[in-house]
Structure 1
């Protein structure tokens, strides 16, 4: 502890000769004299007001000439002022609150500083006590060891944070490359591919958002942990740099908290984009290309729901009233007004057209041969259905999980269904406009796929003959 005389001498050095208070932001001039920044600037301002345009001034103490450009912040003296303020604060604070005596003893059992009168009280009777000078060094070494460990943890945390920043930058670059590739590939295609481009970019954006959310959450957690470690370190360093009394105050509890700090290794996130678009497989003349794979599809009466009426040539289905005395069939749909095509697909590429006219409600697409056909039927890809739907007020959706709204600029009168069995793709096209409607996410087919049609009230579907 500094003596009273030493403290007094330090205060005299750090006292401003203009305001006679401890200096605030001390500024020195070339003669070596130092004043508060506000005091010396106020001094210069007053002289300038008295003598308009004056920019050369005399030191208030030795009259040496100086300009405002000669002023510089005295960092060392500023630190001395801070030390004096801390010492004055400690002189007021580090006394026993109960007895007003100096806290020169440390009670090991209570983990607190006490005075000689506290030691003799009933509260501390029989407790092991020691002079603060005798135990402070040992605890200081332990605290410094804890600081070293926390610095190591902070370095580890910063390393993880830098790693996650690199991951984020790497991911954003990868996404940007992928985005530019998709845009470049689509640039030379005609208008009918515009919706396909937007769909791919939408998927990529969603994938980017999901990955960035994961990596940013991980980085935010590391940032929070780093801030906690920084705060902890500052508290311990302040404790080590302060008086021995301050150092020993709750030192065991502080050490216990410091030793309990951990940094969890962040998740190793693989940066891999799953959104791809092979534009080279797309052609400019959609209709001509699709019809290379066109097949003739007819309806299978043994699968038709009792509310459906099939034409004699099995190319048209209409919704009506329930029919009785139908031939029993295990293939028949019993809960929903559906019917399957007779022709199945087990490999290759296939395309068929459906004349939907101006019907108000229908589903069409393909399904696996072994799908559920009763009340437990769930029309989603995971249950073997790849279909789109027209429902109320000309609203179109793809029956994905969850549903995908389809924003069509023109109502299709003829819908084309394209199946690439090996590629696992089911796509739909507006054959009236010659443009793409929707492609389901890539699937893995192993069973027979059959055309599926569901017709709602006041609607009918017609299967035209393939063009010769």
Structure 2
């Protein structure tokens, strides 16, 4: 009993009355009382801040006056504190004041030799802590190995979740760009629909990312918990036998209760889908109100181009020698213009491209160069799109603009608004928007423009045939 009470008394003497913990770097003042160095300095700094005129201070315990210069390190007290800390490492029985040198396997408790003789432990299986520690050390190490395995799983799940977040953001970015591209040049009555779909998409984005981030946060918290448990077990395993065996059964039960729930898999695809083709049904009707019948002008056709009798179909073949040398005829490129000229207003016509592998179509100025090689670009008087084997679908801007179409259009609609300075292209089967050129100023008459390649004939269906086809679809 003397050793336990002595240790308690020593601890009381070594306790700082300011922070109520064992003193750290103890210093003494003129009255003889000692405190932690940082605690006393902080106490004095606070007084100087609130009462700058003070030259002397009062001891926090006895109120005796002292000066700041009287602070002296107390090395003897420091040595005493080190001894108290060493005593704290030893386990003592609170009831009998004896060392806890035995371990009661029935109750899972550290006991002293007197505890073994009292009624609540009499007849129990006991062993010296050194003998009992080995078995429990192995159990703790097994539990620690399990936690490490769970920690590895947690790290793996965290990496997978981070990758899922990145992939989801990329999918969201692609879907957002697709929707915004589809709506970019639509009429005003479709803008509210765009906002609605983007709102739904954003809500889905927020919900899925919230779940993924919650999973990531949960995994991070679980990782921290596992790390804390592992550190606890490492400290316990490294401690003395008495300290390791103290409450070891409770520790093992708590550690084995730690589980890792794998995060819920996020949806693999974006659920918000905008069927723009359905929204374009009204646009199709709007375009059809401006539809005109377009035929080909044989006087402009290159010598390798063969026109049908009704001037609605053109194919590319061998050069025809019997054609007159018309100044209107294209001499270097296999091109042909439509007979109709557009000055003002809105016009719409459709071109059946079939499954051709190369073509240009659009509109151009009536005055474009036809006897020299000219790049068909807006600055040269051309507003057209192209299909070619090398680059696929492109808009003939400068530089060209790639057109990543979801499906191959078998027929292309061309819409011209002379006043607005706009030329737009549509997939007539789905009424989906393909491309719109930046706003321009048309200073000359515009005519339909076509460039024809081998095995890629073009056909200009009359408006009634187009309407019949759409009704069939």
Q: TM-score, normalising length from structure 1?
A: 0.43
Q: Which structure's CA Rg is the greater one?
A: 2
Q: TM-score, normalising length from structure 2?
A: 0.43
